[in-house]
């Protein structure tokens, strides 16, 4: 369940669409999300193949993951601001074309250095695409189905973890890993073609002014929400990024089991997505501390659970449940973002990709320092604890802002 609080579009600006047309557009937007999610997480499952092919270490492949994530962090707000005056259809087509080129370059990159650059470039359109896709889904959907429409767009990312990444890992073991990025580029091109045919031009709504969005965005509650995701969620990526070598070196199972381990994160993510929506409906931002406390416990247990196949598979599902943090923070962020809805929608993904950069980097540092593959669990628990501290700060800030409002209201009465 993904919640986006945006102002309803002006009906006069949105063409009449049949249910079939809406379904086709949402399918195309979801397909784009599937392509992006598969590319984002492919390097994690393909790590052993990339190590052997490029002649580098596992932590160096982890830096490729971080390079992509940094591209998202830079590109999400930058492209959202640059594209604020563009028509949504034009912007979506440009972002998908850009994504196709970035992944094609990743497939053709001759060496490790060039791949670092190309993975950064490929990450640039990621956050802006999801932000604009979510707003487009809202614009074409009836008022009572907007939440479902946005959930379908985000479903592409979840399906990429559950299906796309394990499939990419298996194919990478059968054929050269470069073909996976080439396949993602092809899916991105198909997405752009489908949007070109199916998405009408008049789905834009009111134009946002970049400076107005920046002013509304630059407030402490917004940055605190982003900080919880950027720091607290890094723990999952610390373990996820190095799961393949951990299963080979610690669990000591054949490589054929790696896709199943990666699918465990997807199963946990699907459950977590619905659980996060349920928690937010009942607890609002307070649901974040439940998820972060859970994360601390399961990440601390991961080093012990990594030594047998049944327990490491259970651990991947348990850690994947951290995905509940996504809908909680996105819903809260939209509540506090005010007029900065487009920038907030894109920056939500930038925050979680900051986590995707921090997790592999810090986990790689621990591995390189000689603490072993399972040390990623302890690194992750420390990050979840840091996220919990930011949450407590955000709660204190919210309570401090409520007290003056209560006093002012009492004075007026």
Residue with tokens 């945006």: 6
Question: Is 413's pLDDT higher than 60?
Answer: no
Average pLDDT over residues 101-129: 92
| Maximum separation of any 2 CA atoms in the chain, in Å | 73
Cα separation, 360 vs 238, whole angstroms: 5
Q: What pLDDT was estimated at residue 317?
A: 94
- CA 142 – CA 19 distance, rounded (Å): 10
pLDDT at 389 over 80: yes
d(CA 45, CA 74): 25
- The pLDDT > 90 percentage for the chain reads 36
What contacts 271, CB < 8 A, 6 or more positions away?
317, 320, 321, 323
When the pLDDT of each residue in the chain is averaged and rounded to a whole number, the result is 83
pLDDT score at 51:
87
Q: Give the 3-state secondary structure of residue 367.
A: helix
With left for phi above 0 and alpha for psi between -120 and 50, is residue 10 left, alpha or beta? beta
> Residue 62: its pLDDT value, please?
79
- Phi, psi (degrees; rounded to nearest 5) at 306: -75, -5
Please tell me the distance from the alpha carbon of residue 187 to that of residue 196, in angstroms, as a whole number.
Answer: 14
Which CATH class for the 11-412 domain?
Answer: mainly alpha
Q: What is the DSSP string of 146-196?
A: HHHHHHHHHHHHHHIIIIIHHHHHHHHHHS-THHHHHHHHHHHHHHHHHHH
Domain range annotation of the chain = 11-412
Q: What is the pLDDT of residue 351?
A: 86
Whether the pLDDT of residue 330 is over 50: the answer is yes
d(Cα 327, Cα 339) in Å, to the nearest integer? Answer: 20
Least confident of 17-21, 94-98, 107-111, 328-332: 328-332
Question: Which two structure tokens, joined as six digits, stand for 226?
Answer: 């982003």
> Which residues, 6+ apart, have CB-to-CB distance to 368 below 8 Å?
57, 59
Place of tokens 């299963």: 247
Confidence of residue 183 (pLDDT cuts 50, 70, 90): very high
Task: Report DSSP letters for 251-287, one per residue.
Answer: I---GGGHHHHHHHHHHHHHHHHHHHHHHHHHHGGGH
- Tell me the C-alpha distance between 267 and 290, whole Å: 19
Determine the distance from the C-alpha atom of residue 355 to the mean position of all C-alpha atoms in its chain, rounded to a whole number.
Answer: 9
Average pLDDT score over residue span 401-408:
51
Q: Hunting for tokens 């400076």 — which residue is that? A: 211
Q: Running DSSP on this structure, what letter comes out for residue 324?
A: G
Query: Is the pLDDT assigned to residue 305 strictly greater than 90?
Result: yes
- Backbone torsions φ then ψ of 169, nearest 5 degrees: -65, -45
Worst-scoring range by mean pLDDT, 121-125, 156-160, 309-313?
156-160
Distances (CA, A) of 353 to 74, 191, 336: 10, 23, 21
């Amino acid at each position: 369940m993904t919640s986006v609080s945006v102002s309803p579009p002006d009906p006069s600006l949105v063409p009449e669409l049949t249910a079939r047309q809406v379904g086709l557009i949402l399918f195309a937007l979801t397909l784009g999300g599937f392509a992006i999610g598969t590319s984002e997480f492919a390097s994690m499952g393909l790590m052993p193949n990339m190590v052997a092919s490029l002649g580098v270490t596992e932590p160096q492949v982890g830096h490729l993951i971080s390079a992509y994530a940094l591209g998202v962090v830079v590109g999400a707000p930058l492209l959202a601001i640059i594209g604020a005056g563009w028509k949504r259809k034009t912007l979506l087509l440009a972002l998908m074309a850009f994504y196709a080129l970035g992944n094609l370059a990743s497939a053709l990159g001759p060496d490790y250095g060039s791949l670092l650059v190309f993975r950064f470039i490929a990450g640039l359109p990621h956050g802006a695409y999801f932000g604009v896709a979510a707003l487009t889904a809202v614009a074409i959907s009836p008022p009572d189905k907007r939440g479902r429409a946005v959930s379908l767009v985000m479903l592409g990312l979840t399906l990429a973890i559950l299906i796309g990444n394990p499939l990419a890992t298996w194919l990478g073991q059968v054929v050269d890993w470069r073909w996976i990025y080439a396949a993602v580029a092809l899916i991105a091109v198909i997405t752009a073609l489908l949007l070109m045919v199916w998405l009408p031009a008049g789905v834009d709504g009111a134009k946002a002014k970049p400076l107005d969005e920046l002013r509304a965005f630059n407030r402490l509650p917004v940055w605190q929400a982003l900080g919880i995701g950027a720091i607290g969620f890094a723990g999952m990526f610390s373990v996820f990024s190095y799961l393949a070598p951990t299963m080979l070196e610690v669990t000591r199972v054949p490589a054929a089991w790696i896709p199943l381990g990666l699918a465990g994160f997807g199963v946990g993510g699907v459950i977590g997505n619905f659980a996060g929506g349920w928690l937010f409906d009942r607890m609002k931002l307070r649901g974040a501390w439940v998820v972060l406390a859970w994360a601390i416990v399961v990440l601390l247990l991961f080093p012990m659970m990594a030594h047998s196949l049944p327990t490491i598979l259970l651990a991947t599902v348990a850690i994947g449940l951290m995905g509940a943090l996504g809908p909680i923070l996105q819903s809260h962020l939209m509540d506090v973002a005010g007029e900065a809805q487009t920038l907030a929608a894109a920056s939500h993904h930038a925050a979680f990709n900051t986590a995707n950069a921090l997790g592999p980097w810090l986990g790689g540092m621990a591995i390189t320092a000689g603490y072993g593959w399972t040390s990623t669990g302890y690194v992750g628990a420390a990050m979840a604890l840091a996220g919990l501290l930011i949450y407590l700060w955000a709660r204190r800030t919210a309570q401090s802002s409520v007290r003056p409002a209560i006093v002012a209201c009492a004075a007026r009465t």
